[in-house]
């Protein structure tokens, strides 16, 4: 299928308080527009930029909620590109349950299934669905494609897919789903293209950002992930607690008499780096600059848990051939990368401090038995490619 010159694909990635947007050319991976709405609500902000990085003039609107933010994005695109012809819209959907292990074109039946999964991802799934409905209303007749964060992990073995609960819970869908699958999909694709010998081996990808997780990947397939039933599990994050003894939750219920809404608020919004630093910040950049006891406490804990999780990943695969850092912290924090790797000589990791300071693609030394890389992730590109495939558009071959 040959698309018209003005045809494009829109990708939407709705988080709990953000909305990432990208507009891609129909026949290649060239981004025409990129941007993000942050802190959606009373203090929300929106920035959209063209392919040269120049800010676009924004249309009138508000950022009160996700629907309003998307409406403002759409109005800006229509205002700045009046001849825009969308071939498809791709959506990041956090939870696909056991139903979906690959992208799907959204039908009423699919949307009904996704809504039923909202209790499994209460802070993300409703926003994903709201984005789908808003895009359907704005672009009637344009195919909408769902790309799932859980799909990448659906082939994990039972021992990494289950909890030691009565088996009826597993049958009800209480299992380890894993998340950040779109990021892992992109990075493994880049590895297959750039370093197929490493791609074929035992890889750990550390997606470190405001949301953080790690994944053990053997031969291109997910073997184990730090996130489990929900996006709370595993590593500490910006405001999420990470791994926690369920007895703590019982203590909150029984001793502090908190209700589920209050506990959810603590676990999702008051914990992680923010909670560890005594409310100082959930942003690693701020913590590194603060250089005080509170920030040290949060960074120390974060680094320790990454190291500990890497040990578990190594055990799951019988070793590690490659460690990849990605995500906002993984790609940009020289301090975190250095500190994570400092105590990993036992697994064959030796970092090159000069390369790390430059954020080179390979930051391990020539003497390191295990390679360490930094690969910027592109979830939006994974979504765009899925939307292109669903629309039956052929990617233009480059020389």
Taking the model in full, what pTM does it have?
Answer: 0.93
**CB 195 within 8 Å of CB 189:** no
pLDDT for residue 201 is more than 60: yes
321 is catalytic: no
Q: Which two tokens stand for residue 26?
A: 């129909």
Average pLDDT over the chain reads 94
Q: What is the pLDDT of residue 18?
A: 84
Q: What is the pLDDT of residue 43?
A: 85
- How does pLDDT run across 133-166, given as a tens digit for each residue? 989 988 999 999 999 999 999 999 999 999 999 9
Residue tagged active-site, from 50, 68, 149, 233: 149
Superfamily of segment(s) 7-148: ATPase, nucleotide binding domain (3.30.420.40)
H/E stretch holding 385 = helix 379-391
**CB 211 within 8 Å of CB 242:** no
Q: What is the pLDDT of residue 399?
A: 44
Superfamily of segment(s) 195-374: ATPase, nucleotide binding domain (3.30.420.40)
**CB 305 within 8 Å of CB 332:** no
**DSSP-derived pairing of the beta strands 31-38 and 19-25:** antiparallel
**CB 253 within 8 Å of CB 263:** yes
Place of tokens 């939307």: 387
Comparing 30 with 287, which gets the higher pLDDT? 287
Residue ranges, comma separated, of all CATH 3.30.420.40 domains in the chain are 7-148, 195-374
Please give the sequence-ordered ranges of beta strands (E in DSSP) within the chain, or none if there are none.
7-14, 19-25, 31-38, 45-50, 85-93, 104-105, 144-148, 202-207, 213-218, 221-225, 322-326, 371-374
């Amino acid at each position: 299928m040959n698309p018209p010159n003005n045809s494009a694909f829109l990708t939407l990635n709705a988080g709990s308080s953000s909305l990432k947007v990208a507009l891609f050319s129909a026949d290649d991976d060239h981004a025409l527009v990129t941007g993000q709405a942050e802190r959606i609500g009373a203090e929300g902000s929106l920035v959209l930029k063209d392919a040269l990085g120049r800010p676009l003039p924004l249309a009138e609107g508000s950022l009160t909620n996700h629907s309003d933010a998307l409406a403002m994005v759409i109005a800006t695109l229509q205002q700045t590109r009046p001849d825009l012809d969308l071939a498809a819209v791709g959506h990041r959907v956090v939870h696909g349950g056991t139903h979906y292990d690959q992208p799907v074109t959204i039908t009423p039946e699919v949307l009904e299934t996704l809504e039923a999964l909202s209790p499994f991802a209460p802070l993300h799934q409703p926003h994903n669905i709201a984005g789908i409905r808003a895009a359907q209303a704005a672009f009637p007749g344009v195919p909408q494609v769902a790309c799932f964060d859980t799909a990448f992990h659906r082939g994990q073995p039972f021992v990494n897919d289950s909890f030691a609960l009565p088996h009826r819970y597993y049958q009800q869908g209480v299992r380890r789903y894993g998340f950040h699958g779109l990021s892992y999909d992109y990075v493994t694709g880049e590895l297959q293209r750039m370093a197929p010998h490493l791609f074929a081996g035992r890889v750990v990808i550390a997606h470190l950002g405001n949301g953080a997780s790690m994944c053990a990947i053997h031969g291109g397939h997910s073997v184990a992930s730090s996130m489990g039933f929900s996006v709370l599990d595993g590593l500490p994050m910006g405001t999420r607690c990470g791994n926690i003894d369920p007895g703590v939750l019982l203590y909150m219920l029984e001793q502090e008499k908190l209700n589920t809404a209050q506990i959810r608020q603590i676990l999702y919004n008051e914990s992680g780096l923010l909670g560890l630093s005594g409310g100082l910040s959930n942003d690693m950049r701020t913590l590194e600059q603060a250089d005080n006891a509170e920030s040290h406490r949060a960074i120390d804990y974060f680094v320790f848990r990454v190291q500990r999780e890497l040990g578990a990943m190594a055990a799951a695969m019988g070793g590690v051939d490659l460690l990849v850092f990605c995500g906002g912290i993984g790609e940009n924090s020289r301090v975190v990368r250095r500190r994570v790797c400092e105590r990993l000589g036992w697994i064959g990791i030796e970092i090159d401090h000069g390369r790390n300071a430059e954020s080179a693609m390979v930051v391990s030394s020539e003497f390191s038995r295990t390679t360490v890389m930094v690969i910027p992730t592109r979830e939006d590109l994974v979504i765009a490619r899925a939307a292109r495939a669903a629309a039956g558009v052929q990617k233009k071959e480059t020389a």
